[in-house]
Amino acid sequence: MESSKGVADQEARVPLLEDLAAVEFKEEQGGYEEDGVLSRRVWIESKKLWNIVGPAILSRVTTYSMFVITQAFAGHLGDLELAAISFGCTVIVGFDVGFMLGMASVLETLCGQAFGAKKYYMLGVYMQRSWIVLFVCAILLLPVHLFASPVLKFLGQPSDVAELSGQVALWLIPLHFCFVFQFPLQRFLQSQLKNRVIAWGSFGALVVHVLVSWLFMYRLKLGLVVAVVTLNFSWWFLVLVLLCYTFFGGCPLTWTGFSVQAFSGLWEFVKLSAASGVMLCLENWYYRILIVMTGNIKNAKIAVDALSICMSINGGEMMIPLAFSAATGVRVANELGAGNGRAAKFATIVSVTTSIIIGLFFWLLIMMFHNELALIYSSSKLVLQEVDKLSLLLAFTVLLNSVQPVLSGVAIGSGWQSHVAYINLGCYYLIGLPLGYFMGWVFHQGVMGIWAGMIFGGTAVQTVILAIVTVRCDWEKEAEKANVHVQKLSKTNRYV
C-alpha cells in the first residue's frame, strides 16, 4: 500500500511530468496542419509514422530472426528435425502468440488513448493488469505444450514428427511464460513512443542468440533440444533488458512502481483483453491451421517442410506490415485520445498507402527470385522444388498482408476489437477454411489448393470488409468515444 507521503509527492510531481511529456510528445510528433499543402501534410505524417515504424521493423525482424536462425540450424540436422521445429515454432508457439499477443494488444488501445489524453499514470496500471491477466492465461494454455504429441497425432500428423514436436513443445515452456512479460512491456513502451529502446533491446537479444546458437549448435553440435534452449535464453534476455529500462528510470512518468490498483477493474480489463485476444488469435491461428491441414496430405513431410519455409519467409516479410500495424495503432490511438479525429483518419491513409507500396516491392522480389527462396532453410531438392511451386501463392499472400495488418492496426487503435473478431470468424473460419478444404481434397489440388482457398477465400474477403469499415468510419465520433472511454476508465484511479 502506498504511504501518504508517497502519494503527496506523486500528486505534486505529476503536473510537472505532464508538462515535460507534452513538450516531448510535441517534439516527436510535430503539428497536424488540416489546411496545409497536401505534400507537406504527407511528409509530416510520414515522419511521425516512420519514427515508430523504423524501430518497430528492426525489433520485429530481429526477434523473428531468432526463430529463423533456430529453424535454419534444425533444418541442417535433417528433414524430421526441421518438421519438428517448424511445428514447435510455427504451430505451438504460434498458438501461444496468437492468443497472448492478442490479449496484450488491448494495451495499444488503452495505453495509446491514455497517453494521447495525458492520463500518463494509467499506462503503468494497465501494464500491470495485463501481466496479471496474461499470467493466468499462460497457466490455462500450458496443456497445449504438455499434450502436444497426442494432439498432433490425433490431428493426423506422422508419428515421428508428432513425437519430436512434443519434445520441442515441452522445452518451449520457458518461452511461453516469457510472452507474459514481453508483450505488455513492448506495447507499454511503444504507446509512449519509446520504440528505439525496444529496437536496441531486440538487436542485443539477436546478437546473443547468434553467438549462443553458433557455439552450441555449430561448434559443439549439441542437437535439437539445445537449439530450443538457446531460443528461450535469448528471449528472456530481451525481457530483462526492457524490465531494467522501465524499472530504473526509463519511464519516470508512466512507471511509478507496483500498485494494488492493478487489481481493481480487472473484470472490465479481462473483457477488453478477451475481445482483443479473439480478434488477433483468429488471424494468427489461421495459417497455423494451414500447416496442420497440410500434414494430412500425401508426402506430408516434404509438404510441411516446404509450406513451413514459405510461412517463415512470409512471416519475416510480415514484420514490416506488422510494424505498420503497430505504428498505425499508436498514431490512431494517440490522435483519438487527444480528440483529433481528422488527424487519425489522415494517419490511416498515409500508413495504408506506404505499406501497399512496400508490399508491391516484395511481391516483385519473390516473383523474380522464386527459385532461390528456400536455400537458406534446406538443401533437399524435393523441398526446394515444392517451395518453387508455392512461390506464386507466397507472393500474393505478401501483397494481401501489406494491407490487412494495417487495417487491423486501425481497428486496435480505435477500439473495434470485438467487431473485428466477428469479421475474422466469418471470413477465416466460415469461408476460408471450408474453401481451402474443398480446393485441397475435393478438387485434389494438394497444398496449393489449401493455401489458395484460404488466402483468396478468407484473407482477401476480410481485407475488403475492413477497408469498407475504415472508409465509412466517422472519425470525429470515434474521437468523442475515445475521450469518454479514457475518462470512464481513469475515474477508478485517483492519481491520473
Per-residue pLDDT tens over the stretch 113-132: 888 888 888 889 999 999 99
Q: What is the pLDDT of residue 13?
A: 45
Q: Tell me: pLDDT of 235 over 50.
A: yes
pLDDT over 70, % of the chain: 89
Select the more confidently predicted residue: 3 or 51. 51
CA-to-CA distance for 445 and 308, rounded, in angstroms? 18
Residue 136 CA to its chain's centroid (Å): 20
- Crossing angle, helix 300-337 and helix 446-454, to 10 degrees? 10
Q: What is the pLDDT of residue 4?
A: 42
Q: What is the pLDDT of residue 491?
A: 59
Q: What is the pLDDT of residue 361?
A: 94
Select the more confidently predicted residue: 69 or 29. 69
Residue with cell 482483443: 276
- The conformational region for residue 33 under phi > 0 = left, psi -120 to 50 = alpha, else beta, is beta
CA-to-CA distance for 357 and 368, rounded, in angstroms? 17
- How many Å from the N-terminal Cα to the C-terminal Cα in the chain? 17
Long-range contacts made by residues 123-126, C-beta under 8 angstroms, separation at least 24? Answer: 123/188, 123/191, 123/192, 123/251, 123/254, 123/255, 124/188, 124/251, 124/254, 124/255, 124/256, 124/257, 124/259, 125/259, 125/261, 125/262, 125/493, 126/188, 126/269
CA dihedral 246, 128, 276, 187 (to 10 degrees): 0
Q: Tell me: pLDDT of 411 over 80.
A: yes
* CB-based contact 157:83 (threshold 8 Å): no
Q: What is the pLDDT of residue 26?
A: 46
Classify residue 220 by its DSSP letter: S
Q: What is the pLDDT of residue 482?
A: 79
Confidence band for 112, pLDDT divided at 50, 70 and 90: confident
CA-to-CA distance for 346 and 275, rounded, in angstroms? 26
254-291 pLDDT tens trace: 898 888 888 887 887 888 788 777 777 777 777 767 77
- Measuring CA to CA, which residue among 366, 363, 386, 384 is closest to residue 375? 384
**Phi and psi angles of residue 37, each rounded to the nearest 5 degrees, phi first:** -65, 140
Instruction: Name the 3-class secondary structure at 339.
Output: coil
445-491 pLDDT tens trace: 877 888 888 888 888 998 999 999 999 988 988 888 878 877 766 65
- Measuring CA to CA, which residue among 411, 402, 393 is closest to residue 457? 393
Mean pLDDT of 331-355: 90
The amino acid that residue 355 corresponds to is S
Say which range, 161-165, 183-187, 206-210, 217-221, has the weakest mean pLDDT. Answer: 217-221
Classify residue 34 by its DSSP letter: T
CA-to-CA distance for 172 and 162, rounded, in angstroms? 15
Mean pLDDT of 58-81: 80
Mean pLDDT of 305-330: 83
* Global pTM exceeds 0.85: no
Kindly state the cell numbers that stand for 80: 524430421
Say which range, 237-241, 271-275, 341-345, has the weakest mean pLDDT. Answer: 271-275
